[in-house]
Amino acid sequence: MLGEDTSLAYSLILTNVAAGTYSLSARIVYDSGSLINSTPANITVIGLAAPWQLKEIGNPGLPGSAQTSNGLYTLNSDGDISTLADSFSFVYQSLSAMAILRSVSSVQNVSSNSAVGVMIRETLASDSKYVFTGISGLYNFLWQSRSVTGGKPAFTN
């Protein structure tokens, strides 16, 4: 059982559900124990496989979305990491040791101002220290960092 609700209108909200396909049904209990089960509904949750998470850093112009399928990660995002406070959608996981083995195999539907790569942040605050390496929407190498919390980022293209 995932939950129960005894007040009208009946509802259940699930959070932090892993991506996958699920079969859900409802059971109504009435008249001191009589039961009716609903027809199962197949639900597909699109999202990121654990331990990956999506976080809005600052206030991006549009909320981001991310999903993974067969090892391919897709992120739709808007934002900026070139000012004193970042605003973008960040797909991340916490690290306890420094071992990053990720590659970018393709970039699609991007503008010349886009960037994709690997970012390591001190915190999830919009003015956090970070280091970023990746490629631009014009397929140029990028190296960017903020060495002081709240400081201006330094760039190498």
The pLDDT tens digits for 76-124 are: 888 889 899 999 999 888 877 666 666 666 777 677 778 888 899 999 9
Asked if the model's pLDDT at residue 45 lies above 80, the reply is no
Give the whole-angstrom CA distance, residue 137 versus residue 81.
14
Cα–Cα distance measured from residue 134 to residue 116, given in angstroms and rounded to the nearest whole number: 5
41 contacts 25 by C-beta, under 8 angstroms: yes
Helix (H, G, I), strand (E, B) or coil at 116: strand
User: What is the model's pTM?
Assistant: 0.66
Whose tokens are 């631009």? That residue is 136
Distances (CA, A) of 124 to 24, 67, 78, 115, 128: 34, 20, 17, 19, 7
Tokens for 59? 């206030």
**Residue 98's pLDDT is what?**
62
